[in-house]
Amino acid sequence: MRLAFLLLIFMPLAGWAQTCTFSVSGKVEDERGMPLVGATIQLIKDKKGTISDETGKFQLAQLCAGKYEVEIRYVGYQTITTSLKVPFNKPWTITMQSDSTSLNEVVIEDKHTNLAVTSTYSSLSGKLLEETMGKSLGESMREIPGVNTIQTGPAIFKPVIHGVHSQRVLILNNGIRQEGQNWGVEHAPEVDQFIASNIIVIKDAAAIKYGADALGGVVLVNPAKLPTEAGVGGQLHTIFASNNGSGVISGFLEGGSKKWPGFGWRAQATIKKAGDSRAANYVLSNTGFEEQNFSLSTAYHTEKSGIDIFYSHFNTSIGILRGTAVATAEDLAIALERDVPQYTTAFTYDIKQPRQSVQHDLVKINAHLEKGKNEFRLQYGLQSNRRTEYDFRLGALTEIPALGFQLYTHTLDAEWERTHSSRWQSSWGINALYQTNSKVDGTQTIPFIPNFDHITMGLFVVEKISLQQWMLELGLRYDVKKYDVAGFDFKNKLYRSSIDFQNASGTVSVKRKITNTSTFTSSLSSAWRPPNMAELYSIGTHQSAASIEYGLLLNEITSEVKPYAKSGVNVEKAFKWVVGYKLERPRFTTEITGYMNYIFDFIYLKPRGVTQSLRGIFPYFRYTQTDASFMGIDFFSNYKINSFWTLTGKASYLRATDETQNDYLVFIPANRVDLGVRYESNPEKKWSWSAESKLRWVANQSRAPQVITPRQIIDAQAQGIDIVAQRPGNFDFKAAPGGYALISLSVGATWKLKSSKCEIRLSTDNLTNQSFREYTNRLRYFADDVGRNITLGLHYSF
Amino acid sequence: MKSLRFSFLVLMSGSLIFLAGCSKDDPKPENIPEAITKATFTFTPATGSPVVVTATDSDGEGPNPRVLSGPIALTKNVTYTLTITMINELAATTAPEYNVTDEVEEEAAEHLFFFAWTNNTFSNPAGNGNIDARADLVNYNDKDANNLPLGLSTAWTTINATGSGKFRVVLKHQPELKSATSTASDGESDLDVEFDLTVN
């Protein structure tokens, strides 16, 4: 078996005899050099064609000598018709002009973000990404098929890919693993959405070179490529929203140098300020937020090499609905029984407790060098993440954070890619990570997670082979990890611990070109993830609903912390199978992805019973391991009726099961369907306009676990019964909310000047001011979701 | 193949040892001012020895259950003064956080004790207490700066008969909420304990 496997990798791949043996390869880019993923390159007469891959590259093989008419198409860009004379031996770069309704699309430059060509991915870029401007990264990702969010109120969104989230979803911000306190469901990714020029979601764990722990998938947030030619350009965006009275200003200036061709720079900044959001019938008090971010980047590139330096600062302060601040089961019972949350007051921009404040800084340096068939890449990143959370506390303590951590992360990635032939490419690489977490001293609480040092070293190899209609990718990875931990138990007594992990992971995927416009992919991958600090050691409460959380290593009887070795705790291991079908015709595109992810020793917070303190009784949750499966289908389709009208449809279906207990899991996104109709006038004109209407329908989550209300817990407790212990299995405090349907409308106008462009867009979300609750929003226990929101966006680029 | 794998492991673990060489310093422990680990309820009659019950929970939010002493054994037809003291043994005895009673007193304007009892075991106050309805009678001996009751000290006269029931004390933290009408449903619970009570 192993021999056959090796043969497959190293088999000489030359020599297929054909009559027409010429091939033409090239790259599709936008005006600014950004690769266009999935552009159609078609030989008009021959009904032959291909699609550009994730790096914009394409190859037309088996061509005969002669002249061809070629048509290149990409949604949102002007179609190009050109002639091609074969043989054509130079690399062919096709630059597409965006049609007037899109602002200049920006670029992936960092070659580290190159995707495995056989992977199943979806992306958000160009016009669609632009329309989400002003939203947080997590929220804008909801536009991507198969991606949902787990939410804590109107400002905190975490992406959920195929049912899993937090540390099972790896976010690469500008090529660097985003490292924050991302164990918390209420800890959103610290990334300025305005930095992104495209967001790509890889749904099979095939992105093996990014890490072994991406059980759900990988999110790539890519900024635009820096200019390499002289001149100054920029963009300015201002967005106002009625619901929370928010204002957003974001923009950048960029340029190149005449004196030093290849040198480029950019300075970018975003400021956001929002007050309380409003549900259909009341104000969601203390849900305001603010954000101040900026980034600076510079690069120098020659044809075969380049160096990039990037710095970004992200600063946010977010209020959490005041009515969620409850202490005991009694308080929780009362809060759940209310129609309008406690402490609902008039609209304000003030952010009070409970609130969180996060500062995230990233410095990144990367270099690449091409030499013959080899390409070398090296990148170093340093991240500083400081998170403080404030709660209502006794007296002056309210002004002291109840939780505070400072996390430093160094990452070093090196990769060597060798293109052996046009059919075979290998890459080898190493990823190293060193991380230290320390509590902010003076919180006067037992730290929720311990101080720790964390080291990971990983080696990977990826082989890509193409055989006519088939493409095969094999990846193998080995990681070694070490945690060094020092924390405090419930009696405020110090404990120290050291844990080592090591494991292998791998992936096999194939892609088959069925016709010129359609492909089929299938991939099988394994991934593993050691339990994180919160899962192992968490003690007490954080900004979550009146529950005490105990880590896997906490002894329930003695309150002490157990050593890992004898605890019976395992790492999470996942096997994921993804099949995808893509059809990309000029007028009709469709994308269907089916998946099955089986996770052994899946770690989740399981309600275990009630614990009593002198403050009253508390429901308590313990991190528990079970085997879980996630099966589902994502669907996306786009149909161009004529040059003005487009229909879109999107659906996701997910079925998650706790296999060990034969039960349901909580907070699994409900099935949903999105439909849209869009009108766009002729983009060639000086003035153009567009209008869109969308309908989002979300089903009721019928696969939700049993309900035990806090009131039932208290009443049972009064009779000396621990109802939670008596009714095993998973439960939730409140039944899943019903399904809902939301309508949104938007109209936009664009005015094109010589080299600049003005755009105005007015849109309305939740047009009918529907009161609804989203199952994966943790605020659903306490309050309705956000009501009608009218947004006005003004965009200028030059 | 085997030796390759071995040398690879050696290389990886070698670099790990190198990186892990610098061991962490012990983090500084925090004072934990907000926990109440012991609450003492002292019923002092005009003459005779006081009746004392305690509620203890040495690990605060930890998994160990609280321990209540009791029952509260009172004598019939006697007037008692109930004083409540709370300490936090997770803080050093010398730290200001150790004495929670003082903190509650300092922040009297944000705190209020509520009481409830069953089976009409008191003649004054009569009824069942103010947890279910704020207007119900409880005899507070102390007041905050806004002239609203606090409850660290309260007065109780037992019935002139034998009886038994439950006696529950709830301390609510009501920042910006405490008023003449704020109820036991407002704010957050700092203390919520229930004892058995006998009158003989």
CA distance A6 to chain B (A): 13
C-beta atoms of A445 and B32 within 8 A: yes
* pLDDT number for residue A394: 63
How does pLDDT run across A668-697, given as a tens digit for each residue?
Answer: 999 999 999 999 888 778 899 999 999 999
Reduced to 3 states (helix: H, G, I; strand: E, B; else coil), residue A443 is coil
Q: Which residues sit opposite A147 in a β-bridge?
A: A161
Contact A533, A459 (CB under 8 A): no
CA distance B143 to chain A (A): 18
Question: Which of B23, B27, B57 lies at the smallest CB-CB distance from A613?
Answer: B57
Using only C-alpha atoms, chain B has a radius of gyration, in whole angstroms, of 25
Q: Compute the distance between CA of residue A475 and CA of residue A118 in angstroms, rounded to an integer.
A: 12
| Same-domain status, A643 and A769 | yes
Provide the CATH number for the domain around residue A179. Answer: 2.170.130.10
CA distance B23 to chain A (A): 8
Q: Compute the distance between CA of residue A235 and CA of residue A755 in angstroms, rounded to an integer.
A: 12
CA distance A45 to chain B (A): 53
Name the token pair of B117. Answer: 């009892």
CA distance B47 to chain A (A): 30
* pLDDT number for residue B176: 80
User: Which amino acid is located at A231 in the chain?
Assistant: G
Reduced to 3 states (helix: H, G, I; strand: E, B; else coil), residue A666 is coil
Output b/e per residue, A525-547; b: 16+ Cβ within 10 A: bbbbbbbbbbbbbbbbbbbbbbb
Q: Could you tell me which residues come within 8 angstroms of residue B93 by beta carbon, excluding any fewer than 6 positions away?
A: none
How does pLDDT run across A258-286, given as a tens digit for each residue?
Answer: 888 889 999 999 999 999 999 999 999 99
Residues 465-494 of A with CB under 8 A from B: 478, 480, 482, 484, 486-492, 494
CA distance A733 to chain B (A): 19
Contact residues, chain A, for B97 at CB < 8 Å: 444
Reduced to 3 states (helix: H, G, I; strand: E, B; else coil), residue A681 is coil
Q: Compute the distance between CA of residue A609 and CA of residue A620 in angstroms, rounded to an integer.
A: 6
Q: Compute the distance between CA of residue A417 and CA of residue A429 in angstroms, rounded to an integer.
A: 8
Interface probe, candidates A614, A620, A711, chain B, greatest B C-beta count within 10 A: A614
Reduced to 3 states (helix: H, G, I; strand: E, B; else coil), residue A27 is strand
- In order, the DSSP letters of A735-787 are PPPPPEEEEEEEEEEEEE-SS-EEEEEEEEESTT------TTBGGGGT---B-
B168 closest CA partner among B96, B114, B104, B101: B114
Contact A256, A299 (CB under 8 A): no
* pLDDT number for residue A98: 60
Interface probe, candidates B192, B193, B195, chain A, greatest A C-beta count within 10 A: B192
How does pLDDT run across A141-190, given as a tens digit for each residue?
Answer: 888 888 888 888 888 999 999 999 888 999 999 889 999 998 888 899 99
Question: Which of A554, A614, A620 lies at the smallest CB-CB distance from B66?
Answer: A614
Question: Looking at the predicted structure, is the pLDDT value of residue A509 above 80?
Answer: yes
Residue that is written with structure tokens 């790509």 in the block? A200
In this structure, what DSSP letter does residue B33 have? T
How does pLDDT run across A547-595, given as a tens digit for each residue?
Answer: 688 899 987 777 788 889 888 899 999 999 999 998 888 889 999 999 9
Number of C-beta neighbours around residue A691 at 10 A: 16
Q: Compute the distance between CA of residue A513 and CA of residue A521 in angstroms, rounded to an integer.
A: 9
Q: What are phi and psi of A690, to 5 degrees?
A: -145, 155
Q: Compute the distance between CA of residue B29 and CA of residue A486 in angstroms, rounded to an integer.
A: 11
Residue that is written with structure tokens 């321990």 in the block? B67
Q: Could you tell me which residues come within 8 angstroms of residue B49 by beta carbon, excluding any fewer than 6 positions away?
A: none
Asked which of A220, A239, A261 is the last residue of a domain, the reply is A220
Reduced to 3 states (helix: H, G, I; strand: E, B; else coil), residue A712 is helix
CA distance A720 to chain B (A): 13
* pLDDT number for residue A13: 36
B59 touches chain A (CB under 8 A): yes
Range of the domain at A368: 221-797
Contact residues, chain A, for B69 at CB < 8 Å: none
* Cis amide bond preceding A87, omega within 30: yes
Question: Looking at the predicted structure, is the pLDDT value of residue A3 above 70?
Answer: no
C-beta atoms of A325 and B55 within 8 A: no
Q: Compute the distance between CA of residue A542 and CA of residue A631 in angstroms, rounded to an integer.
A: 31
Contact residues, chain B, for A541 at CB < 8 Å: 61
Contact residues, chain B, for A393 at CB < 8 Å: 34
Name the token pair of B13. Answer: 């673990």
Region A21-33 average pLDDT: 79
Question: Which of A443, A450, A611 lies at the smallest CB-CB distance from B63?
Answer: A611
C-beta atoms of B27 and A451 within 8 A: yes
Instruction: Give residue B150's Cα distance to chain centre.
Output: 14
C-beta atoms of B29 and A478 within 8 A: no
Provide the CATH number for the domain around residue A747. Answer: 2.40.170.20
Among left, alpha and beta (phi > 0; psi -120 to 50; other), residue A80 is beta
* pLDDT number for residue A543: 66
Residues 139-198 of B with CB under 8 A from A: 170, 173, 175, 177, 185-186, 188-193
Beta strand A572-584 with A518-529: parallel, antiparallel or unpaired? antiparallel
CA distance A312 to chain B (A): 27
Contact A571, A601 (CB under 8 A): yes
Provide the CATH number for the domain around residue A28. Answer: 2.60.40.1120
Q: Which helix (H) or strand (E) holds B44?
A: strand B38-45
In this structure, what DSSP letter does residue A719 have? T
B186 closest CA partner among A427, A95, A180, A342: A342
* pLDDT number for residue A209: 82
Q: Compute the distance between CA of residue A555 and CA of residue A495 in angstroms, rounded to an integer.
A: 13
A193 touches chain B (CB under 8 A): no
- The number of residues in chain B equals 200
Q: Could you tell me which residues come within 8 angstroms of residue A566 by beta carbon, excluding any fewer than 6 positions away?
A: none
Beta strand A687-698 with A616-640: parallel, antiparallel or unpaired? unpaired
Name the token pair of B99. Answer: 């004495």
Q: Compute the distance between CA of residue A560 and CA of residue A390 in angstroms, rounded to an integer.
A: 27
B74 closest CA partner among B95, B50, B94: B50
Contact residues, chain B, for A494 at CB < 8 Å: 26-27, 29
Q: Compute the distance between CA of residue A729 and CA of residue A666 in angstroms, rounded to an integer.
A: 11
Name the token pair of A593. Answer: 């992805």
Question: Looking at the predicted structure, is the pLDDT value of residue A545 above 70?
Answer: no
* Residue A104 covered by a domain: no
* Residue A525 covered by a domain: yes
| Same-domain status, A124 and A72 | no
C-beta atoms of B27 and A486 within 8 A: yes
* Cis amide bond preceding A354, omega within 30: yes
Instruction: Give residue A669's Cα distance to chain centre.
Output: 15
C-beta atoms of B189 and A616 within 8 A: yes
Residues 311-340 of A with CB under 8 A from B: 325-328, 330-331, 334
Query: Which residue did the predictor score with more confidence, A753 or A503?
Result: A503
* pLDDT number for residue A592: 93
Region A694-702 average pLDDT: 95
* Residue A5 covered by a domain: no
Asked which of A177, A202, A220 is the last residue of a domain, the reply is A220
User: Which amino acid is located at B40 in the chain?
Assistant: T
Reduced to 3 states (helix: H, G, I; strand: E, B; else coil), residue B162 is coil
Q: Compute the distance between CA of residue A134 and CA of residue A416 in angstroms, rounded to an integer.
A: 38
* Residue A192 covered by a domain: yes
In the structure, what pLDDT confidence band is assigned to residue A11 with cuts at 50, 70 and 90?
very low
* Residue A524 covered by a domain: yes
| Same-domain status, A573 and A468 | yes
C-beta atoms of A455 and B58 within 8 A: no
Asked which of A175, A198, A220 is the last residue of a domain, the reply is A220
How does pLDDT run across A407-451, given as a tens digit for each residue?
Answer: 999 999 999 999 888 788 899 999 999 999 999 998 888 899 999
Question: Looking at the predicted structure, is the pLDDT value of residue A751 above 80?
Answer: yes
* pLDDT number for residue A8: 38
Question: Looking at the predicted structure, is the pLDDT value of residue A135 above 90?
Answer: no
What are the structural domain ranges in chain B? 38-199
Q: Which residue of B has its CA nearest to A485?
A: B24
3-state DSSP of A686-713: CEEEEEEEEEEEECCCCCCCEECCHHHH
Contact residues, chain A, for B7 at CB < 8 Å: none
C-beta atoms of B61 and A541 within 8 A: yes
* pLDDT number for residue A112: 30
A544 touches chain B (CB under 8 A): no
The whole-chain average pLDDT of chain A stands at 86
Q: How many domains does chain A have?
A: 3
Contact B12, A460 (CB under 8 A): no
Cα–Cα distances in Å, from A436 out to A88, A384, A433? 54, 10, 10
Contact A634, A652 (CB under 8 A): yes
Q: Compute the distance between CA of residue B127 and CA of residue B135 in angstroms, rounded to an integer.
A: 11
| Same-domain status, A157 and A253 | no
CA distance B91 to chain A (A): 9
* pLDDT number for residue A101: 30
C-beta atoms of A342 and B186 within 8 A: yes
| Same-domain status, A179 and A236 | no
B102 touches chain A (CB under 8 A): no
B133 touches chain A (CB under 8 A): no
3-state DSSP of A568-605: CCCCEEEEEEEEEEEEECCCEEEEEEEEEEEEEEEEEE
Residuewise pLDDT in 10s, chain B (200 residues): 444 455 555 555 555 444 444 445 788 888 776 778 899 999 999 898 999 999 998 777 776 778 888 799 999 999 999 999 999 887 778 877 788 899 899 889 989 999 999 999 999 999 999 999 999 999 999 999 999 999 999 999 999 999 999 999 999 888 788 999 999 888 878 888 989 999 99
Q: Which residue of A has its CA nearest to B194?
A: A616
Contact residues, chain B, for A459 at CB < 8 Å: 8, 12
Cα–Cα distances in Å, from A101 out to A585, A688, A748, A797? 22, 7, 9, 12
Contact residues, chain A, for B192 at CB < 8 Å: 328, 330, 614-617
| Same-domain status, A250 and A199 | no
Q: Which residue of B has its CA nearest to A343?
A: B177
C-beta atoms of A397 and B33 within 8 A: yes
How does pLDDT run across A649-660, given as a tens digit for each residue?
Answer: 999 999 999 999
Question: Considering only A375-384, A599-608, A668-677, B153-162, which range has the smallest mean pLDDT?
Answer: A599-608
A755 touches chain B (CB under 8 A): no
Question: Looking at the predicted structure, is the pLDDT value of residue A99 above 70?
Answer: no
Contact A439, A415 (CB under 8 A): no
C-beta atoms of B13 and A480 within 8 A: yes
Q: Which helix (H) or strand (E) holds A270?
A: strand A263-274
Strand ranges, E, within A127-190 = 147-152, 156-161, 169-173, 176-177
How does pLDDT run across B117-163, given as a tens digit for each residue?
Answer: 999 999 999 999 999 999 999 999 999 999 999 999 999 999 999 99
Q: Compute the distance between CA of residue A370 and CA of residue A356 in angstroms, rounded to an integer.
A: 45
Q: Which residue of B has its CA nearest to A555?
A: B63
In the structure, what pLDDT confidence band is assigned to residue A323 with cuts at 50, 70 and 90?
confident
Region A397-402 average pLDDT: 83
B31 touches chain A (CB under 8 A): yes
A411 closest CA partner among A440, A380, A386, A388: A380
Question: Looking at the predicted structure, is the pLDDT value of residue A626 above 80?
Answer: yes
Alpha helices per DSSP H over A250-346 = 329-337
Residues 595-614 of A with CB under 8 A from B: 611-614
Q: Which helix (H) or strand (E) holds A726?
A: helix A723-726
Q: Which residue of A has its CA nearest to B1?
A: A2
How does pLDDT run across A466-500, given as a tens digit for each residue?
Answer: 887 888 889 999 999 999 999 998 878 899 999 99
